[in-house]
Amino acid sequence: MEGALAGAALGRSVSDLFDIVKAVTGNTLMFEDVLERLKSTLDRLKRVVEEIEGSHREMGRPEEISALIKQMKKGEDRVKKYSKLQWWRYPMRSRYTRKLCKLEEELTKFFQLDVPAWTCRSASNTWNAVSDMRARMNLAEGNSEGSCAVPVPEPPDFTVGLDVPLKEVKMRLLKEEVSMLVLTAPGGCGKTTLVTMLCRDNEIKGKYGGNIFFITVSKSPNLKVIVQELFRIKKEQVPHHEFSSDEDAISQLKQLLNRMEQKPFLLILDDVWSGSESLLDKFAFQMPNYKILVTSRTAFPRFPFRYNLEPLNGEAAMKLFRHSAILNDGSSYIPGEDIVEKIVKGCGGFPLALKVIGRSLCGQSEMVWRSRVMEWSNDHSILASSTSSDLLGCLQRSLDFKDEELIIKKCFLDLGLFPEDRRIRVAALIDMWSELYELDEDGIQAIANLCEISIRNLASLLVTRKDASEVGIYCCSEDYVLQHDLLRELAIHQSSQEPIEQRKRLIVDISENKLPKWWKESGQQPISAQLLSISTDDKFSSSWCNIQASKVEVLVLNFQTKNYSLPKFVEEMDKLKVLIVTNYGFFHADLDHFHLLGSLSYLKKIRLEKVSIPSLFKSSVELKSLEKISLFMCNIGQTSRACTIQVSDAWPNLKEINIDCCIDLAELPAGLCDIVCLKKLGITDCHNLSALPKEIGKLVNLEVLRLRSCTDLMQLPKSVTSLKRAELWEPFKESLPSLKLKLAAKDTNLHWLPNRF
């Protein structure tokens, strides 16, 4: 009786804490991630406790329950206290977060270890009880079918677009040399669905029979629990009831497989989290006919055999969406193709998104459909709707980074600064991150972060260079990042949780001349954004309203018009360090008001794409702090020939110049050779460049001179032998005065064109 009363009290405590966490989650943005996890843990714990109470099983010793109730009472106080945390105490956020995480760990330990132990003490059918509890914690629930007498979940009633991936995964898995295959894709792309279909494939069932084991792996997997479950499924007694260590568990598993007389054995580890390579290593022992199929949002590059599951194509996506949006009796209203296509496009081929959005519109009127499309077209995220909570929750789990990995999360969020369906130049990201996060100027750390983002399927890193042995930052000058539209939506959504004036990243999309309502109403109210991105379409007239953004350090301007003026408020951005201006229109655009930058004393890096700057070498725009300028597909030939300023006086601290695909460039201004601080000069795909300045030898501090695909450049000036810091020239120093350049084939490409993920 005492145990029963304690159990009832525990149930009430769980419910009370769950209600409090649920109530404050949406309003406590700086603890949103940990509160979401805590809410999920409490929800599962709540169901477990309710089931135990309903089955009249023993809840355990009263003193153990009392200790846990005290923990949850403390948790209530913490959640209430932290939900009222003032903005000026943000630096203490990490300490509070650790306390909330500790509470979550205690609760997880409770129903991973204590509940099964209590249940085992009171139940005669020990292993059935352990399975009952642990199945709710770490393992997948499902039904067996035919000869596949294992708990593999049932695939959805309706699937589409997975026939080809199913054949390809099966083909790779059955290859003799493949012992472990990693099936990888972003969350919500259908990895688990594909695996459940594979388990019911006749060829797979014929090969593995009843020896297919499906395990859903938790974020913090317990190898001993997984092996115990394998023993239970095979109806084998676990030696000594429990394993003494992970190594003991793996040893016993090997013995189990040996007793199976080397029959084919397929282990499926579903939803393996990043950082779980050690778990995979322990299961990846060599044994005939033993294979592992892993599904994960992480690609795990250390394991060589991988299959990347792509989102659904347009036709398959349309079929899945229509199926999800129609009632069982087929009576649901479906609007015209134009509306449906806009909605399907917004889902980006993610099966989960198509299902969630389709179900939310099922049975709705035409006005509801049109209203939803209108919201999304007016800069409202598909993830912001309350009907998309399941989708948002699924995608947000991909952003659960460890404390030491938070820089990677920041880099991912920064990708949202660039327009959808566009390639993001790696060089531009390096410019940003070297200033924002103090990463190295050569981009090694930045590229490492991009590789990690790519491995986690949050974006794709596209390496276009043909020679991976090239030296320095120029290796990355043609590399790109592609981001799926829905993952860009996720980045923007995560960056938009605070009020406009408090956001660190402020992302503004302007259609025609319709400025956001908050912008027009803000008046003189300053914003505190550190990164500001403003994108306009081909109908924008450069009619800017004022905005106070003096704290901005990185400004990204994206436009499509033939004439574009820098906003007047730029000259008030006292802390601006990096300026990136990109024209995504088909033709070059004139960039006006370049002189506004002359008032910015901290501006260190400028990157301009597909613009003409008549005043670049004509008017004396002094940029005393400028260290790097990159010009891609810009028209600068006429201005360089008519240079009327002393460049070394205007840009005295310039260390790096990159000029790519500027086809009208015939010669460099001789004045550039007076910039004694210059360390790197790169000129790529400038086919009309016929000669370098004779005075280039005056660049005594130049360390890298990179000339690529400049097909009219036949020889170098003799003064190049004076470049004593350019170590790459050393082997050719004796022959340089008479050196004739070997011309590479003209490398014409369309990498700069718009590209979908």
Q: What are 172-219's pLDDT values in tens digits?
A: 999 999 999 999 999 999 999 999 999 999 999 999 888 888 888 877
pLDDT for 217: 84
User: In this predicted structure, which of 88-102, 304-318, 626-640 has the lowest mean pLDDT?
Assistant: 88-102
Give the pLDDT confidence of 370-384 residue by residue, as tens digits: 888 887 776 677 887
pLDDT for 232: 76
Give the pLDDT confidence of 394-432 residue by residue, as tens digits: 898 899 888 889 999 999 999 999 998 889 999 999 999
Q: Which strands make up the sheet holding 611-612, listed edge to edge?
A: 563-565, 589-592, 611-612
- The arithmetic mean of pLDDT across residues 53-80, rounded, is 61
- The arithmetic mean of pLDDT across residues 607-636, rounded, is 85
Just give the CATH number of 138-308.
Answer: 3.40.50.300
pLDDT for 91: 47
pLDDT for 111: 58
At residue 131, does pLDDT exceed 50? no
pLDDT for 144: 32
User: In this predicted structure, which of 106-115, 165-174, 248-257 has the lowest mean pLDDT?
Assistant: 106-115
The DSSP symbol for 546 reads P
Nearest to 565 by CA among 599, 541, 532: 541
Structure tokens at 635: 């028209």
pLDDT for 141: 35
The secondary element (H helix, E strand) that includes residue 327 is none
Cite the DSSP H helix spans in 156-213: 163-173, 191-199, 202-208
SS3 at position 515: coil
What is the β-pairing status of strands 704-708 and 290-296?
unpaired
pLDDT band at 44 (very low <50, low <70, confident <90, very high): low
pLDDT band at 136 (very low <50, low <70, confident <90, very high): very low
SS3 at position 401: coil
β-pair partners for 474: none
pLDDT for 115: 56
Nearest to 295 by CA among 204, 213, 185: 185
- The arithmetic mean of pLDDT across residues 487-495, rounded, is 92
pLDDT band at 244 (very low <50, low <70, confident <90, very high): confident
Domain ranges of the chain: 2-136, 138-308, 314-394, 401-485, 625-757
- The arithmetic mean of pLDDT across residues 324-347, rounded, is 81
pLDDT for 441: 86
pTM for this model (two decimals): 0.75
Greater pLDDT, 225 or 39? 225
SS3 at position 287: coil
